[in-house]
Amino acid sequence: MKSYSAVGLAVAATLLSAGAVAQESAKLEEVIVTATKREQTLQDVPVAVSVTPVETINKAAIKDLSDLASILPSLRITTLQTSTQANFIIRGFGNGANNPGIEPSVGTFIDGVYRSRSAGSIGDLIDIERVEVLRGPQSTLFGQNASAGVISIVTQKPSFEWGGYVEGTIGNYNAQILKSKITGPLSDNVAFSLSAVRNERDGYFKELKSGKAINDRDRSDVRAQLLWNASDNFELRIIADTSTISEVCCGVSNIVNGPTGSIIQSPLVGGQIYAAKPFDRKYYANKLPVNVIKNSGFSVHLDWDLGDWQMTSITASRNQDSAFDYDFDFTSGDLGAVNLNEGDIGTVTQELRLSYDGGGKVRGLLGAYYMTEKVEYDNTIQIGAGFRNYASVLTNPTNPAAGLQTFPSLEAAFGLPSGSLFRSGTGNKIETEQDTDAYTLFGQLDFDLTEQLTLTTGVAMTDTQKDVDFRQTSNELFSSLDFVTAGFAQIRGALLRAGLPDSLASSFADQASVADGRTIPCYTPPAPFGALTGPLCNPLLALYPLQFLHPIVPFNDSSSDSKTTYTVRLAYDFNDNLNAYAGVSTGYKATSWNLSRDSKPFPPATAPRSPLGGAVNPWYPRFGTRYAKPEEATVIELGLKGRWDRFTANVAIFDQEIKNFQSNQFFGTGFQLANAGVQSTKGVEIETQFQVTDALQLDVAATWLDPLYDSYPGAPGINGPYDATGTVPANIPKWTVVTAVNYNWLIGDIAGFVRADYRYDSNVQLTENVPASFASRQVNTLNASVGFALDKWSFLIWGRNLSNDDYLVQAFPAVAQTGSFSAYPNESRKYGLTVKYKF
């Protein structure tokens, strides 16, 4: 940990205290949450939950969820190859990026409405009241897609008093942000609000071929609300929103330039690589990575207070359109010409709840939830003009001239037109559709066993049906050639010419095709024929890795999953200031279908027969994964919560396990969707707030995690499957510590504050398929802000990553470049000035 950051915070606090103007006696404010779908104070709710109120969001200059992660130690958010591909991770668990068939394990809800993909919730935070982060499985109350946790965003209701604001921000990288809001009454019982934000910024990453800056910011959000208080006990709220992201993102740094780099940079390919300087934030590409996403939707909220009973209904419809295209090899070698991804996701949800609180010993709720969703996703990939020469030299790197004859020879042998293999502009296109219908019935009951001891039991029954349609068109010929059949047919012919009987020649060739396993190119027949013939080798198998645009057998399939999850918890109030809880909860996420060009059928129990006469032909169709089985999560948790006038402390000790975690890892030429056996994480979370003086508040939060693969045979590795049982999962830091200092001051009529927060993540390997010596991460990030208000005006000077901390967010094997590795570096330092006028 960089000591100067912590020392700087302490010195700043001391200096500010010395010049302080006395304030009125201050107490920590009580925080209201809806983590259990009814209002409770943060201290009373027996759930591990972190709450960030709007005041903190504004003071810390938090613009979106990615910024929010800087102050919550158990939350991480990683942005990958586009600004809309993000993973939300709680307690080390999270997924959902890079495949539209994978719904995140961390469920995101805005005003109780589920956002089924992370791209639907990464827009700017506007009109926010608070953000609640619920840690651990929450499927009992939040449905199937909350196996790792929940992020719940609550917006502000319209006001019956006229008001609003206009806010402008300028910053480095030519940042320009304009926010506005107006709210007020339309009648005695109808109010409205309208808020909007426009966020622009130049990029901090440079694409060297064009000379343009990328990783920019170009976002617009509009939210409108209408509130009708029809009576003292009936409320109707209608919310409509739309957002657009149109950005050039994201740059990729080379961290290891392997042996293929010299081929890309040779005159035969003519590419360039900015090698092994990841924090220069520079790279070469043939085209800029563009991504556009449009989110829109509306929801109708009904709340009816019937005395002891309360009824809530939330009806919502949402749509998400996305398109992104980028140079997938991240060099200027023109290996890839097109990687166009287009998606359209339409989601309709309905939730109905009936809760009871008669003031006695029993409280509870019953609910039903329905979701129907249609996903349409197309992916077009085309190879570039440089790929043929690149692939040719790869076949014979020691003799490039001979390598250049590889494909002309193959074209002649297979009777194909000259230049047809790896022809520029050829490729394939997949078209997928997925229809989902999910139903959940849930209930929860609180029973006061004594005045101090409460038993909570909850259960949810979920049924999920998914129907999938997968089609592909292809004009890339090389990947459709069957080198197993062709190669071992040549072996059979050679054996016949050597005088072996046809039956033995066919048998040996068949056994060789079985034995190769696509990785073993030779087979030695048993004695005495082995001594006569020697090893039977198929040199064509060396070309197998180049067939990454392989044909896919079109299919229609479906999955039907049912699961019952539960919560059992005891909560004990020692006194008005201190309480504890202990319980067990389970979570669940249904089957995720592989809606990518890497989707392949599972290896069958009885494999298809070879045309040679009885042996397995492993060439076509290729085997892999078509889907990932459901995730099942269980957590055993002990918690202690204390609250006094000037001090709060929340502690959670847990043992959390996920069976069949849906992992999606990249291996150089594609992603592999797999169930990660059994993964567990033991941990401790501590959150404290201390009102040191009337003006000075200190927050300290820490998370300690001890993750383990309890059982993971057949884990996908860069050199093939391996047994990962007993190993430590990557990218889960053992220690994360967040400290924040907030000092309020008053001079005359000017009220102000100084705030600083610092995050430390201990060193961790980024991913299992990139050596830790090449890609690890340690975080030491300092953010700070200074603000003051005068009458209706307020001013904020802010900076993020003021420590200029450099670290890698994620790493992966470079695309089609064996021995090379790439990574995404973190954002560079940002700072700016925000001016706000309230009316």
Tell me 165's DSSP state: E
Percentage with pLDDT > 70 across the chain: 91
Residue with the larger pLDDT of the pair 399 and 532: 399
Per-residue model confidence (pLDDT) at position 85: 81
Per-residue model confidence (pLDDT) at position 514: 54
Q: Is the pLDDT of residue 7 over 50?
A: no
Per-residue model confidence (pLDDT) at position 416: 92
Per-residue model confidence (pLDDT) at position 65: 84
Q: Which amino acid is at 286?
A: N
CA dist., res. 45 & res. 554, Å (int): 50
Q: Of the candidates 21, 12, 26, which has an alpha carbon nearest to the alpha carbon of residue 694?
A: 26
pTM here? 0.90
Strand, coil or helix: 664: strand
Q: For the chain, first and last CA: distance in Å?
A: 44
pLDDT tens for 52-86 read 999 999 999 998 888 998 999 999 988 888 887 88
User: What's the Cα-to-Cα distance from 328 to each of 324, 383, 599, rounded to whole Å?
Assistant: 11, 10, 18
CA dist., res. 521 & res. 481, Å (int): 17
For the residues 693-712, what does the mean pLDDT come to? 96
pLDDT tens for 751-801 read 999 999 999 999 999 998 899 999 999 999 999 999 999 999 999 999 999
- C-alpha angle 654-657-662 in degrees, rounded to nearest 5: 140
For the residues 253-273, what does the mean pLDDT come to? 94
811 — phi, psi (to 5°)?
A: -135, 160
Per-residue model confidence (pLDDT) at position 546: 87
Provide the token pair at 101: 């068939």
The reply to whether omega before 522 is within 30° of 0 (cis) is: no
Write the DSSP string, 550-588: -----EEEEEEEEEEEEEEEEEEESSSSEEEEEEEEEEE
CA torsion, ordered 141, 142, 145, 146, to nearest 10 deg:
-80
Per-residue model confidence (pLDDT) at position 18: 37
For the residues 290-308, what does the mean pLDDT come to? 95
How many C-beta atoms surround the C-beta of residue 522 within 10 A? 14
Residue with the larger pLDDT of the pair 674 and 182: 182
Q: pLDDT band for position 669 (50/70/90)?
A: confident
pLDDT tens for 463-482 read 999 999 999 999 999 988 87
Q: Is the pLDDT of residue 213 over 70?
A: yes
Per-residue model confidence (pLDDT) at position 617: 45
Could you tell me which residues come within 8 angstroms of residue 472 by beta carbon, excluding any fewer than 6 positions away?
A: 428, 429, 430, 431, 551, 552, 554, 597
Burial code (b: 16+ CB inside 10 Å, e: under 16) for 282-318 equals ebbbbbbbbbbbbbbbebbbeebeeeeebebebbbeb
Q: Are 278 and 253 in contact (CB under 8 A)?
A: yes
Per-residue model confidence (pLDDT) at position 135: 95
Per-residue model confidence (pLDDT) at position 765: 95
CA torsion, ordered 198, 202, 205, 206, to nearest 10 deg:
140
User: What's the Cα-to-Cα distance from 401 to each of 41, 405, 408, rounded to whole Å?
Assistant: 74, 7, 12
CA dist., res. 768 & res. 772, Å (int): 8
Q: Are 786 and 752 in contact (CB under 8 A)?
A: yes
For the residues 493-517, what does the mean pLDDT come to? 66
What is the overall mean pLDDT for the chain? 88
Per-residue model confidence (pLDDT) at position 126: 86
CA dist., res. 833 & res. 795, Å (int): 7
For the residues 13-39, what does the mean pLDDT come to? 61
The reply to whether omega before 137 is within 30° of 0 (cis) is: no
Per-residue model confidence (pLDDT) at position 517: 45
CA atoms within 13 A on the CB side of 275: 13
**pLDDT-wise least confident of 34-38, 519-523, 553-557, 696-700:** 519-523
Percentage with pLDDT > 90 across the chain: 70
